[in-house]
Structure 1
Amino acid sequence: IKPYFEIYRDTFKIGDIIGYNLVGMIEGNDPKLKDEFIILGGHYDHIGEGKEVNGDKIANGANDDASGTIAAMEFGKHFANSKTNKRSILITLYAAEEMGLKGSAHLAKRLKDEGLNAYTMINFEMIGVPRAKDKSMAYMSGFDRSNFAPILNKYAGEEVVGFFPKAKEFKLFFRSDNFPFFKEFNMPAHAISTFDFTNFDYYHHVDDEADKMDYDHMASFINKMIPGLEGMMNAPTKEVTLSDE
Structure 2
Amino acid sequence: MKNLSVLIVALILASCGTSRRLEKMDLATAKIKERKVYLPTANPTQIAIDVQYLSSDELNGRETGTKGIEMAADYLKERLQTIGIEPYGSGYFDAFSSGDLKGYNVVGMLPGSDRELMKETIVIGAHYDHIGIISAVDGDSIANGANDNATGTATVLAIADAFKKLDFNRRKVVFALFSAEEKGLIGSRKLAEKMKANGENVVAMINFEMTGTPMVDKEYITYLTGYDTSNMGEIFNREYEKFKVTEKLEAAAKMNLFRRSDNYSFYEVFKIPAQTFCTFDFTNFDHYHQVGDDISQVSARHMADVVNAVMPGLFEIINDEVPVLTAAIDE
Of the three residues 126, 142, 146, the one matched with 2:226 is: 142
Question: What residue in structure 1 maps to residue 245 of structure 2?
Answer: 160
**Aligned residue identity for 1:143:** Y
- Does the Cα contact within 8 Å between 2:228 and 2:327 map onto a contact in 1? no
Larger radius of gyration: 2
Q: Percent identity over the alignment?
A: 42
Alignment of 1:73-222 (within 5 A): 73-157=157-241, 158-222=243-307
Q: Distance in 2 between matches of 1:68 and 1:55?
A: 28
Please say if 1:243 is aligned against 2:306. no
1:204 Cα offset (Å): 0.4
Measured against aligned partners, the alpha-carbon deviations of 1:150-176 in whole angstroms (never above 9, x if no partner) come to 011111223111110112110101110
- Per the alignment, residue 229 of structure 1 pairs with 314
Structure 1: 5+ residue stretches without partners: none
Report the residue type matching 2:240 in the other structure: A
Question: Residue 87 of structure 1 aligns to which amino acid in structure 2?
Answer: R
Q: 1:62 aligns with which of 132, 143, 146?
A: 146
Runs of 4+ in 1 over 2 A off after TM superposition: 14-17
Secondary structure of the structure 1 residue equivalent to 2:244: coil
Whether the aligned pair in 2 keeps the contact of 1:155 and 1:232 (CA below 8 Å) is no
Partner SS, residue 149 of structure 2:
helix
Q: Distance in 2 between matches of 1:11 and 1:22?
A: 9
Distance 1:136 1:244 in 2: 23
Structure number with higher strand proportion: 1
Could you list the runs of 5+ residues in structure 2 that have no partner in the other structure? 1-84
Contact kept? 1:29, 1:83, Cα under 8 Å: no
Give the residue type in structure 2 aligned to 1:109.
E
Q: Which structure ranks higher in relative contact order (CA pairs < 8 Å, sequence separation ≥ 6)? A: 1
Deviation at 1:55, TM superposition (A): 1.1
SS in 1 for 2:313: helix
What is the number of equivalent residue pairs in this alignment? 243
| Superposed displacement of residue 81, structure 1 | 1.7
TM-score, structure 2 as length reference = 0.71
The separation in 2 between residues aligned to 1:63 and 1:120, in whole angstroms, is 25
Query: Could you tell me whether the CA contact under 8 Å between 2:205 and 2:263 is conserved in 1?
Result: yes
